[in-house]
Structure formats: C-alpha cells, structure tokens
Amino acid sequence: MPSHNLAVASCNVRGIQSKNLDILCLQETRLLNNNGICDVKKIWGNSTSLFSVGEDRADGIAILFYTSDVKIIKVCELIPGRLMYADIFMFGSKIRIINLYTAQDRTKKTKLSNKLKNLLYVGYHIIVCGDFNTITDNIDSSSSKPNKITRVGHILKIIMSENKLNDSFRILYPNKIDYTRFDTSCNSRIDRIYTSEKVTVLSYITKLLIESDHLTVITHIKINESEQCKHFWKMNTKILNIVKNNIYYIEQINRMKSILSEKEIMWLIICITKYKLWITRCRMTIDQVYVSSDNVFKQIICELRRRRTLDIKN
C-alpha cells in the first residue's frame, strides 16, 4: 500500500498565517462566540476548519486543514475551548486528530488528562497536538528554581507510554535540549506533537511564525496505509478484577450467613463496604455490581434486625 507524508503544526496563537502545511492545530484562539468563528472561516476560505470556543477569554482551539483531500467523519468537543478531536479520512488513511490546550489550574489539568486517556482507545492512527502547560521530563525546562515534574506531568507521560504514543521531538532528538515557550523566569518545551507508533516521524522544527511567547511546532510524518494500529479495543483489566472480587465476596456472604453470628456478618459487611469505598477512590464505575451489592447488604441487615427482634421477644 502507498504511504503519504503529512506536515502537521501546533501553535499557541491569537492569529496566524502559515504555508506548506497540511494540518494546523491552534491553541488560545481567543474567539469568544460563533460570530468570531464565522469571521475566521471567511478568511480561511473553502478549506475545512473546525473550532471550539470556551468560557474564558484565553480559551479556544481549532483544527485547520490546508488540503481539500480530507473527509471529516466525526468531530467532538470534550472540554469546550480546551479539548477536541476530529476523526478524518486523509490520503486514504483514517486518523484521529486531537487538539488540546491545558489550563494552568491543576484540577482542570487532571480533568483534561482523564478525558484524553479515553480518546486513545481506537484502532487507527492518532496525532495529539497541543499546549500541554506541563513538562514530562526535567530536560524540558530551564528556570532559576529546581525543575520539578508535577503529578499531572507524570500521569501524562504514563498515558502516552501505555498507548504507545511518541513525542515527535524525542523520536528524532532523544537527548537534545530545546524549548517552545520563553519568559523571564522559565523556558520550557510545553508545546508538543505526539504520534502513534506506526507513524514515521521524518522531521521536526520550531518557528516563530507570529509575535508570540510560543514557537510553532512543525513535524513532518509518514503514514503507511497498511500499518493501521492493531489495538482496536483496549480494556482496563483492573475493572474485570474488581468486578470479579466484589461478586466473589457477595457470594461468600450468602453462603456463610446461615452459619455465622451477627457480629461476624456485620464484620464482613464492614470489610466489603471498605472495599467498595476503595473502588470509588479508584474512580471505577460498575453500577450493576453496586446495585447487586446494595441489595445483598440490605437483605443481610434485614435479617439481622429480624433476629434481634426475636431475641427481644424471647
């Protein structure tokens, strides 16, 4: 099957004009409403352009296409103005383009990371572009203070590694120091482009295309149509283990409650309740198991109350 080369760029901007690109992902567009989007679309012309507007003035992201050889399959805004994706057919290949602009707030960063993780379980090529506002390696930042990778930075690195998404810069330059954002106190490489493992990274450059404190990240990649990703579905096996263990304990209570004392039964209930709280802290949603568990617990409690009533009467 033939292969095709793509030029993909990611830039944090307020406005941009660029050439010799196929896909351009923008962050911090600062478009406030649909009127602003319509104005930009008129300037952009007949080429496909996708926008997402957020609540804050600094929000706003977009995915722009310079080529007419693109078919949009699906577009979704996960966090308006901060996280969106487009499933496309381009040069005969199916690709998911994810564009993100991470907020400074740690809670919002964590929320975005969790949503991003769920977008990566697909069986075709993925390109993730964005202003991540966090580093994943100490080498990617230089400041007067000691570098420290945040918890979100560690999580992001794990997410990308588990889903076999590669930092296009590090593929070509494993140990090189380079930055994409500059200010008086810190220089950092927070603007990045990740690609699926089956995508070949041909080149990587940064340019100051407009007046900005961010450089535009440009990478040329090659997509081979015959090398679609093999992981069509990815299942979190932790969920299966938790479901299995929870059901196991429920069955044990049913089997043993006729031979245990009330105190022993209550002890089992407390243990499993703590186990359920642990599941909640793990943020696992297993509604059917919860309903089944609750029904069993209610039956046991009713049985204990009935026994206590009989004891009082006697």
* CATH classification at residue 172: 3.60.10.10
Which tokens belong to 240? 């299966």
Q: What is the pTM of this model?
A: 0.68
CA distance 66 to 44: 9
Annotated binding site: 28, 131, 133, 213-214
From first to last of its 314 residues, the chain has per-residue pLDDT tens of 556 677 776 765 444 555 578 898 988 887 777 767 777 777 777 788 899 988 888 888 999 998 778 999 999 999 999 999 999 998 888 999 999 999 989 899 999 999 999 999 888 999 999 999 999 999 999 877 777 888 899 999 999 999 999 999 999 999 999 988 888 788 899 999 999 988 999 999 988 766 667 888 999 999 876 555 544 444 444 444 544 555 655 665 566 556 666 665 665 666 556 555 544 444 444 444 444 445 555 555 555 556 545 554 44
Q: How many domains does the chain have?
A: 2
Q: Which residues are catalytically annotated?
A: 101, 131, 214
Asked if 40 and 26 count as a contact pair (C-beta separation under 8 A), the reply is no
Residues 202, 67: one domain? yes
Tokens of 10: 């990611």
| Binding-site residues for Mg(2+) | 28, 131, 133, 213-214
Query: Same structural domain for residues 80 and 213?
Result: yes
Q: How far apart are CA 199 and CA 171, in angstroms?
A: 11
Q: Indicate whether 213 and 289 sit together in one domain.
A: no
In what order do the strands lie in the sheet containing 49-52?
Answer: 49-52, 61-65, 23-27, 3-12, 216-224, 200-207
C-alpha angle 37-40-41 in degrees, rounded to nearest 5:
85
| Alpha-carbon distances of 301 from 181, 257, 295, rounded to whole Å | 60, 11, 10
Last residue of a domain, one of 224, 248, 269: 224
